[in-house]
């Protein structure tokens, strides 16, 4: 009836105009089959007529004749049966011929597609029609009740379907038992009709104790009914779990890791066919950070296969634990119905050694073997499923963060789409400064537009707005492992000898041009590691090491994180390495500067091994050296005593900047820079005298100035020498230096 037949060459039939015209013919075929069975039934028995006077419990011969469109059917007539058989054969041939023409003209016929998709036999497809009919016309309720000799049995039973379909080739009144017994397989729990949830058994309210399998009522699944009627909306049971995506870019147009794209193209070429054709079952594991482009790669593949993508969030699916397996089966069925690939996100939830996760993965693989054709599994961690998909083609594709050139292209595309007036050089600057995923780049542009400093005086977005958005898009998990420092100092605040300032500016310069040197000029091919920027700031306390780190972060407009060594170093073996691994792992996507203060406590010299403690301490040091060489960001180490640092570290550091104790001239500048422009200052303040008289570093000067400001605020006047001297005395007491009252100047002295 609905499978492709051998049609005579000279027979030309018109294509079906739409699915409904096809269904109309299908129901005509069913009506003829019912007429044949009515004739046979009347020869065997009479329908009950004495249970009640009410018309509702009585179905007359005349009513049945009217319902099936016959003027009057005899009780038994082999000639009439022959006529009906001829009509059925003629109608079937016409339908089959029109189906062939319709398929050639690409007219979509859902009933045909359903049979093809789930590889239904002609018998199974006809069983679907019998269950479909009552959903299209109420007359079949009465007809099925008549055929089952029970006014309450309006739904088709297994027995009724076997009766209608297994006696089609026989004129005998008695059923063909051997044909019925063979066909009973189609209604087993493992058969396609039930595994794919196309048909569902329903309880008989008049037989609460149950009935034989033959007496089971069947109904068509609601989603299948909608599909056959041309409603292609996602199954309502999956509406909160599945999102349908139509690809908008080809695989060539998608801006993601080119190596991953090449692997995907090769996979599609050798193993993947469009969903309308028979091909391999393919499972692709896409591994990479969130936002790196895994879904975009899958969508590009779907564009090449001319199909859609059904996105499934495993977090939402697994939250419905009791229904998880059934929902997964429905998801795969939905993929077949909509002729789309499946995308299961957050597969990391199922990884590991937990039995529950392994069990769900096995079920997913089993369902994939039944009803899958192309499924993408996405996660952040590397994964090796071993023999889980042994009957299918399995491919793992890793997506890395985009390189400088690709990031620039993504920035250009995003800025052109949203900010056509943006400076052409912005894309290059932003790509150089921030290692962001494609999704983060697009989100940063959207965030800058939404929250940018747009005013009447400044109607256009600035580069600073985009820098702020980039910092917000960077991984913020590092704040759980290190303290975020807000960079407030600029180059004008940093008082150092010219050669030291030049070194610090070289750090910023190398950061800005690293991708040009390593990428465009090919130096990355000469280096397997050590592409990051590492610097050691050494010098006495208070000489500006922390301030210099802030100045660099401020100049580069990136975040600065100060690592708390107390929370990193552990007395337990292996814990220090784990803590450091987490820090560097999160720092990879934070686009921030890592600042280790008092680093000699962690990066100190390796010692002679005299006991187990020394051995593990040396392991920690070696591990740190390895991670620093692998890290491609900026790491700044600060120490008060360079001599305490391990030589293996200092040899591999890109910069070593010595912060000298400030001389008189520099101390005078430091005194000046620590007083804000808005602070009320007395004219008697003598910066040269303070610089000459108090030989302290910038950190102590900052403390003295702050104390003096509070003394002045308490007295309600301007900051004068007396306040500064009081602050100096307190600072000397704190740092343990001798305060000589004799050498201290009087409160009114300005020049000495």
> What confidence tens digit (pLDDT) does each residue in 429-466 have?
899 889 899 999 999 998 988 876 555 455 577 888 89
pLDDT of residue 286: 97
pLDDT at 602 exceeding the cut of 70: no
- For residue 612, name the pLDDT band (cuts at 50, 70, 90): very low
pLDDT of residue 585: 83
Strand partners, 396: 285
Query: pLDDT for 177-205, tens place per residue?
Result: 788 888 989 998 889 999 999 999 987 76
Q: Residue 636: enclosing H or E segment and its boundaries? A: strand 634-639
Among the CATH numbers 1.10.8.60, 3.40.50.880, 3.30.70.2190, 3.40.50.300, which is that of 664-735?
Answer: 1.10.8.60
192, 120 Cβ separation under 8 angstroms? yes
> In this structure, what are the phi and psi dihedrals at residue 190, rounded to the nearest 5 degrees?
-90, -5
SS3 annotation, 496-546: CCHHHHHHHHHHHHHHHHHHHHHHHCCHHHHCCCCCCEEEEEECCCCCCHH
404-436 burial, b for 16+ CB within 10 Å, e for fewer? Answer: bebbbebbbbbbeeebeebeeebbbbbbbbbbb
pLDDT of residue 355: 78
pLDDT of residue 455: 54
The radius of gyration of the chain's CA atoms, rounded to the nearest angstrom, is: 40
Query: pLDDT for 325-337, tens place per residue?
Result: 889 999 999 999 9
Q: Could you identify the residue written with the tokens 């196309």?
A: 198
**What's the first-to-final CA gap in the chain, in angstroms?**
114
494, 548 Cβ separation under 8 angstroms? yes
Mean of pLDDT over the chain: 84
pLDDT of residue 604: 59
CA neighbor of 192 nearest in space, from 145, 140, 127, 274: 127
pLDDT of residue 50: 41
pLDDT at 427 exceeding the cut of 50: yes
Task: Say which DSSP state 477 is in.
Answer: G
Task: Say which DSSP state 382 is in.
Answer: -
Cβ neighbours, 10 Å, residue 493? 17
Looking at domain 236-398, its CATH architecture is: 3-Layer(aba) Sandwich (3.40)
pLDDT (mean) for 219-229: 95
569-587 burial, b for 16+ CB within 10 Å, e for fewer? Answer: eeeeeeebbebbeebbbbb
> In this structure, what are the phi and psi dihedrals at residue 306, rounded to the nearest 5 degrees?
60, 50
pLDDT at 606 exceeding the cut of 70: no
pLDDT of residue 234: 92
DSSP output for 160-196: HHHHHHHTTT---SS--HHHHHHHGGGGSTTSHHHHT
pLDDT of residue 611: 46
Structure tokens at 640: 């008060």
Query: pLDDT for 660-691, tens place per residue?
Result: 999 999 999 999 999 998 999 998 899 889 99
Task: Say which DSSP state 379 is in.
Answer: E
Least confident stretch, 221-230, 277-286, 431-440, 543-552: 277-286
pLDDT of residue 258: 93
pLDDT of residue 6: 45
Q: Could you identify the residue written with the tokens 């099936």?
A: 68
Among the CATH numbers 1.10.8, 1.10.3470, 1.10.10, 3.40.50, which is that of 404-473?
Answer: 1.10.8
| Domain pair 404-473 / 491-658, same fold | no
pLDDT of residue 450: 83
pLDDT of residue 51: 38
The torsion defined by the Cα of 58, 60, 66 and 71, in degrees rounded to 10, comes to: 180
DSSP output for 110-168: HHHHHHHHTT--HHHHHHHHHHHHHHH-THHHHHHHHHTT-TT--SPBHHHHHHHHHTT
pLDDT of residue 39: 82
Distance in angstroms (rounded) separating the CA atoms of residues 577 and 627 = 10
Among the CATH numbers 3.40.630.30, 3.40.640.10, 3.40.50.300, 1.25.40.10, which is that of 491-658?
Answer: 3.40.50.300
- Burial of 278 from C-beta contacts in 10 A (0-12 / 13-18 / 19+): exposed
CA neighbor of 404 nearest in space, from 514, 303, 489: 514
146, 38 Cβ separation under 8 angstroms? yes
Domain ranges in the chain?
19-228, 236-398, 404-473, 491-658, 664-735
Cβ neighbours, 10 Å, residue 253? 12
616, 583 Cβ separation under 8 angstroms? no
646, 604 Cβ separation under 8 angstroms? yes
586, 554 Cβ separation under 8 angstroms? no
pLDDT of residue 423: 79
pLDDT of residue 747: 45
Decide which of 632 and 125 is more confident.
125
Query: pLDDT for 466-525, tens place per residue?
Result: 998 998 888 777 888 888 999 989 999 999 999 999 999 999 999 988 888 887 788 877
Distance in angstroms (rounded) separating the CA atoms of residues 451 and 472 = 11
């Amino acid at each position: 009836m609905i499978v492709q037949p051998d049609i005579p060459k000279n027979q030309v039939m018109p294509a079906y105009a739409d699915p409904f015209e096809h269904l109309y013919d299908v129901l005509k075929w069913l009506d003829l089959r019912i007429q044949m069975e009515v004739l046979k039934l009347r020869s065997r028995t009479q329908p009950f007529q004495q249970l009640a006077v009410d018309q509702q419990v009585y179905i007359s011969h005349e009513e049945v004749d009217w319902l099936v469109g016959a003027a009057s059917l005899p009780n038994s007539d082999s000639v009439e049966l022959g006529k009906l058989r001829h009509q059925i054969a003629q109608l079937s041939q016409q339908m089959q011929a029109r189906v062939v023409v319709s398929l050639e003209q690409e007219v979509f016929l859902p009933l045909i597609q359903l049979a093809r998709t789930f590889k239904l036999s002609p018998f199974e497809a006809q069983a679907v029609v019998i269950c479909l009919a009552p959903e299209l016309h109420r007359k079949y309720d009465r007809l099925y009740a008549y055929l089952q000799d029970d006014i309450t049995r309006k739904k088709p039973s297994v027995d009724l379907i076997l009766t209608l379909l297994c006696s089609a080739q026989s004129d005998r009144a008695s059923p063909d038992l051997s044909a019925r017994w063979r066909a009973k397989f189609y209604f087993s729990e493992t058969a396609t009709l039930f595994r794919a949830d196309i048909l569902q058994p329903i309880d008989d309210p008049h037989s609460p104790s149950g009935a034989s399998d033959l007496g089971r009522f069947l109904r068509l699944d609601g989603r299948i009914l909608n599909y056959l009627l041309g409603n292609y909306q996602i199954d309502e049971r999956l509406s909160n779990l599945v999102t349908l995506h139509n690809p908008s870019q080809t695989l060539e147009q998608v801006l993601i890791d080119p190596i991953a794209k090449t692997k995907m193209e090769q996979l599609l070429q050798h193993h993947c066919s469009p969903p309308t054709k028979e091909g391999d079952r393919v499972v692709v594991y896409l591994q990479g950070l969130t936002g790196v482009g895994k879904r975009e790669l899958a969508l590009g593949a779907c564009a090449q296969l001319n199909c859609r993508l059904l996105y499934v969030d495993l977090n939402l699916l697994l939250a419905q634990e009791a229904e998880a397996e059934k929902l997964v089966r429905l998801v795969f069925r939905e993929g077949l119905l909509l002729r789309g690939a499946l995308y299961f996100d957050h597969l990391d939830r199922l990884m590991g050694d937990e039995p529950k996760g392994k069990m769900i993965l096995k079920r997913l693989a089993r369902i994939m073997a039944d009803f899958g054709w192309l499924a993408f599994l996405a996660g952040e961690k590397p994964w090796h499923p071993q023999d889980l998909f042994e009957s299918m083609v399995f491919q793992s594709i890793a997506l890395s963060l985009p390189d400088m050139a690709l990031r620039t292209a993504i920035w250009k595309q995003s800025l052109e789409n949203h900010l056509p007036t943006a400076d052409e050089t912005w894309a290059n600057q932003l790509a150089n400064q921030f290692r962001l995923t494609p999704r983060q780049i697009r989100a940063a542009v959207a965030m800058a537009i939404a929250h940018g400093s747009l005013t009447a005086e400044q109607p256009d977005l600035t580069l600073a707005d985009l820098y702020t958005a980039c910092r917000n898009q960077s991984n913020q998990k590092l704040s759980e492992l290190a303290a975020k420092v807000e960079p407030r100092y600029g180059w004008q605040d940093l008082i150092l000898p010219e050669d030291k300032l030049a070194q610090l500016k070289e750090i910023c310069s190398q950061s800005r041009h690293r991708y040009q040197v390593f990428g465009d000029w090919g130096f990355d091919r000469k280096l397997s590691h050590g592409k990051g920027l590492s610097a050691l700031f050494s010098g006495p306390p208070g000489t500006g090491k922390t301030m210099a780190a802030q100045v660099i972060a401020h100049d580069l407009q990136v975040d600065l994180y100060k690592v708390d060594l107390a929370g990193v170093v552990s007395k337990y073996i292996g814990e220090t390495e784990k803590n450091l691994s987490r820090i560097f792992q999160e720092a990879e996507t934070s686009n921030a500067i890592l600042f280790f203060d008092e680093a000699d406590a962690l990066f100190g010299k390796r010692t002679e091994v005299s006991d187990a403690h020394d051995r593990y301490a040396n392991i920690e040091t070696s591990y740190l050296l390895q991670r620093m060489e692998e890290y491609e960001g900026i790491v700044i180490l600060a120490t008060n005593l360079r001599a305490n640092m391990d030589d293996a570290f200092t040899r591999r550091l890109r910069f070593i900047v010595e912060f000298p104790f400030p001389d008189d001239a520099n101390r005078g500048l430091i005194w000046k820079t620590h007083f804000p422009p808005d602070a009320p200052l007395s004219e008697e303040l003598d910066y040269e005298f303070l610089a000459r008289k108090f030989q302290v570093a910038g950190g102590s000067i900052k403390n003295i100035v702050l104390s003096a400001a509070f003394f002045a605020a308490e007295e309600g006047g301007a900051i004068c020498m007396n306040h500064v001297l009081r602050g100096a005395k307190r600072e000397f007491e704190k740092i343990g230096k001798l305060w000589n009252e004799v050498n201290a100047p009087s409160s009114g002295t300005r020049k000495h």
